[in-house]
Structure 1
Amino acid sequence: MAEPKRTWSSISRAGARGLVAAMAMTGSRTVAAGIAPGERTPPEAIVEKQAPYLFSRLEKHQREAVTELLHWVYGAGGGLAFGLLPARIRRFPGTGVVYGLTFWLGFEMGIAPMLGIEQVKHRKVLWRVVIALDHVLYGVVVAGRLAPEPAIDGDRAEGEGEGDD
């Protein structure tokens, strides 16, 4: 069976799912804050470390809003990146989970050390489990596993016989 062609429509839908997934993570992080008070989320840690002067001028509620908006933009970008993966990879049932965990591990093992964010070295196991589950949620939503898209005749006809690699 021929791979469907990637279209701007399918890529933008993946970006929208990334945005919604990042928003869903906001809710799960509220729960995480209750489980492990005092821990900073990755977006908070990045903003505190990389832009303290810029954000110190803002009131606390404004800093929180800007931090969350940056997280949502990052999540939407991650969704767009997922949409660029070949269809044969995106179609695999476990891809979303692997993608979400890879995003988290990329931060923990790559971005955080590169930015000098030390807190990741001292996290409690429970916090790591909650954040890992948070990113599993992200991946499942980005992959469209919670609400799979029905085949759209226009997309199917447009992609017939064309590969996306």
Structure 2
Amino acid sequence: MAMTGTRTVTAAVAPRERTPPEAIVEKEAPSRFAHLDEHHRAAVTELFHWAYGIGGGMAFGLLPARIRRFPGTGAAYGLAIWLGFEMGIAPLLGIQQVKQRKVLWRVVIAFDHVLYGVVVAGRLAPEPAIEMGRARGQRDD
């Protein structure tokens, strides 16, 4: 949901651009959602995006702890999720808009996914138990 706020800014920067979930729903499931009004389609699209984000967060949790603890891992993971769409999923699904995006859009979307990775990694609010253990000089291996 942290990314939703960033995407609101993104939409103001480039109002004609579609987010990855919008592009996927538009390309892959138009007949299933054609009967829905614009607001319901937007809600379904957002739920798909949240589900994808939850899946990405769960996958992050499967990484070895020593990798997850590295400070830059979350940001790198968020960028990898975005690049996976741009270089893998979009071409596979034949979503052409990816090739036509402006630099400013890409910068904002990259920031959006860095934020996602930082949130998923828990870098904005580390667990208190871990921090307290470190304060006492205990190791958290």
> Same fold per TM (> 0.5)?
yes
| 1:150 Cα deviation from its structure 2 partner | 2.4
Q: Percent identity?
A: 79
> Which letter maps to 1:99?
Y
Q: Which secondary structure does the structure 2 equivalent of 1:151 belong to?
A: helix
**Unmatched 5+ residue regions in structure 2?**
131-140
From 49, 54, 59, the counterpart of 2:27 = 49
| 1:24 Cα deviation from its structure 2 partner | 1.1
| 1:98 Cα deviation from its structure 2 partner | 0.4
Alignment of 1:60-79 (within 5 A): 60-79=38-57
1:28 aligned to 2:22? no
Match of 2:113 in 1: 135
Count of residue correspondences: 131
What does the per-residue CA deviation read over 1:120-146, in whole Å, with 9 as the maximum and x for residues that have no partner?
000000000000000000000000000
From 40, 59, 66, the counterpart of 1:88 = 66
**Structure 1 length normalisation: TM-score?**
0.78
What does the per-residue CA deviation read over 1:49-107, in whole Å, with 9 as the maximum and x for residues that have no partner?
00010111111000000000110011001000000000000000000000000000000
1:108 aligned to 2:86? yes
Q: Which secondary structure does the structure 1 equivalent of 2:77 belong to?
A: helix
Alignment of 1:1-40 (within 5 A): 23-40=1-18
Q: CA RMSD in A?
A: 1.1
> Take 1:25 and 1:150, find their aligned partners in 2: how far apart are those partners?
24
1:123 aligned to 2:94? no
**Unmatched 5+ residue regions in structure 1?**
1-22, 153-162
